[in-house]
Amino acid sequence: MEKRRVVVTGIGAVTPLGNDVETTWNNLIAGVSGIGPLTRVNADDFPAKVAAEVKDFEPGDFIDKKDARKMDRFTQYAVAASLMAVKDAGLDINEENSDRIGVWIGSGIGGMETFENQYQNFLNKGYRRVSPFFVPMLIPDMASGQVSITLRARGFNSCTVTACATGTNSIGDAFKVIQRGDAIAMVTGGAEAPITNMSVAGFCANTALSTNPDPKTACRPFDLDRDGFILGEGAGIMVLEELEHALARGAHIYAEIVGYGATADAYHITAPAPAGEGGARAMKMAINDAGLKPEDIDYINAHGTSTAYNDKFETAAIKEVFSDHARKLAISSTKSMTGHLLGAAGGIEAIISALTIKDGIIPPTINYQTPDPECDLDYVPNEARKQEVKAVLSNSLGFGGHNATIVFKKYE
């Protein structure tokens, strides 16, 4: 069966660095952090004091106010980012093509805020005071559902829930839908709004979050003094399109998506497999799927969570996959500025990967001060780097042992 070529024609984002792609990208390149004091919940209740929160987001700018009230924030973010991505792509979804245009948007946690609020209603006032929209606001697939309703996209519609690998798995799976001919375009990525009492409590209880109270330095991937990740929120969505369809309508092309790998650690519910064994297999799988050699990759947007195990084992996995070329690769963790958006992380980082190719600028890993002997590669410390980039690999690794990797290259 002939594999169709697939390109990125539109991007949209709501992030802690800005409520659109341009602002987010400019801040990333400038090394600006979107991390600040934890305000969505009472920070006095938790050892974690900082978060990467979305600021000044107005759902009414994108969604009818009545409809917005029936959506959890993660869905609002997804709808907003999807509308921006489709507009950026100049894609007209109409009666003639809508059944060939699909949506694949994932969320790691879904409507946690809705769950907590409605559970309080139930405890205080009984079941009659629980919203009839409780379940449709809570379930993680509702971002995909609401986006398809908003766009009138009637094709392939799905939702991936693979913890922190969600966004990358979603984009990889949407890529395969187009590649095999089941759609001409897919609106895809991840969305998350996890800064709630129970979510923060859970991550604090398993000691995953940084307890550094200084927002400027709390997230320091690959640095010896890293002490946990920073919880973030938002959405990253891209329009993937079959190449011939994109060319026929004169679409702008950011990059071509060429490879996808997904594996399981089959090891532990939260800890990565020793030496990043599962992540290494996902990277090899994606590079092989792309028809590339390891030395063809110029830049890796790392999972880079700023946790002790992740950064050490991801580094080990990169060395395993790339051998001598690992020393020549540029690697950065943009989570140092965005925080960790869980199921949305891969969506944002896919957009960053495409823009790195388009603009020839590699965003930095900020707060890199004290080298870790076990993390000894080129992490593009503290300042963006101008460099021609022809191929990018983006990693996402999730609780449950999920590993996902996608590869983008310059469209030629």
Q: What is the DSSP string of 101-142?
A: EEEEEE-SS-SHHHHHHHHHHHHHH-GGGS-TTHHHHHSTTH
Same domain assignment for residues 222 and 286: no
What gap in Å lies between CA 155 and CA 182, rounded to an integer? 8
- pLDDT digits 0-9 by tens, 125-162: 999 999 999 999 999 999 999 999 999 999 999 999 99
CB atoms inside a 10 Å sphere around CB 215: 19
Domain annotation covers residue 327: yes
Residue 264, classified by CB atoms within 10 Å of its CB into exposed (0-12), middle (13-18) or buried (19+), is middle
- pLDDT digits 0-9 by tens, 44-72: 999 999 999 999 999 999 999 999 999 99
Distance of CA 16 to the CA centre of its chain: 13
Same domain assignment for residues 266 and 205: no
Please identify, among 195, 228, 248, the residue that sits at the C-terminal boundary of a domain: 248
- Tell whether the model's pLDDT for residue 89 goes beyond 90: yes
- pLDDT digits 0-9 by tens, 280-329: 999 999 999 999 999 999 999 999 999 999 999 999 999 999 999 999 99
> Domain containing 373 — which CATH number?
3.40.47.10
Same domain assignment for residues 18 and 166: yes
- Tell whether the model's pLDDT for residue 2 goes beyond 90: no
Same domain assignment for residues 75 and 218: yes
Q: According to DSSP H, which parts of 264-383 are helical? A: 277-289, 308-322, 335-338, 345-359
pLDDT of residue 152: 98
**374, 143 Cβ separation under 8 angstroms:** no
Domain annotation covers residue 255: no
Domain annotation covers residue 1: no
CB atoms inside a 10 Å sphere around CB 162: 26
Same domain assignment for residues 266 and 238: no
Domain annotation covers residue 208: yes
pLDDT of residue 252: 98
Domain annotation covers residue 364: yes
Q: Work out whether the CA dihedral 299, 302, 306, 309 comes out positive or negative.
A: negative
Same domain assignment for residues 326 and 381: yes
Same domain assignment for residues 268 and 239: no
Nearest CA among 272, 134, 133, 108 for reference residue 202? 108
**197, 231 Cβ separation under 8 angstroms:** no
Nearest CA among 21, 23, 16 for reference residue 56? 16
- pLDDT digits 0-9 by tens, 178-193: 999 999 999 999 999 9
Torsion angle of the four alpha carbons 80, 81, 82, 85, in this order, in degrees rounded to the nearest 10: 130
Domain interval for residue 288: 260-409
> Can you give the length of the chain in residues?
412
Q: Round the average pLDDT of the chain to a whole number and report it.
A: 98
pLDDT of residue 82: 98
Q: Up-side HSE of residue 139: CA atoms within 13 Å toward CB?
A: 10
- pLDDT digits 0-9 by tens, 203-259: 999 999 999 999 999 999 999 999 999 999 999 999 999 999 999 999 999 999 999
Same domain assignment for residues 294 and 239: no
Same domain assignment for residues 219 and 319: no
Packing angle of the helix pair 142-151, 73-89 (nearest 10 deg)? 40
Q: Work out whether the CA dihedral 276, 278, 279, 285 comes out positive or negative.
A: positive
Same domain assignment for residues 225 and 271: no
pLDDT of residue 111: 98
Which pTM was predicted?
A: 0.98
Domain annotation covers residue 363: yes
What strand order describes the sheet that includes 330-332?
157-158, 101-106, 185-192, 234-242, 6-14, 255-264, 402-409, 391-398, 299-301, 330-332
pLDDT-derived band at 1 (thresholds 50, 70, 90) equals: confident
Nearest CA among 330, 252, 337 for reference residue 26? 337
Q: Is 164 assigned a catalytic role?
A: yes
Same domain assignment for residues 120 and 183: yes
- pLDDT digits 0-9 by tens, 91-118: 999 999 999 999 999 999 999 999 999 9
**363, 352 Cβ separation under 8 angstroms:** yes
Q: How many domains does the chain have?
A: 2
Same domain assignment for residues 15 and 116: yes
Please identify, among 248, 283, 309, the residue that sits at the C-terminal boundary of a domain: 248
Instruction: State the catalytic residue, choosing from 164, 204, 219, 375.
Output: 164
- pLDDT digits 0-9 by tens, 344-396: 999 999 999 999 999 999 999 999 999 999 999 999 999 999 999 999 999 99
Domain annotation covers residue 115: yes
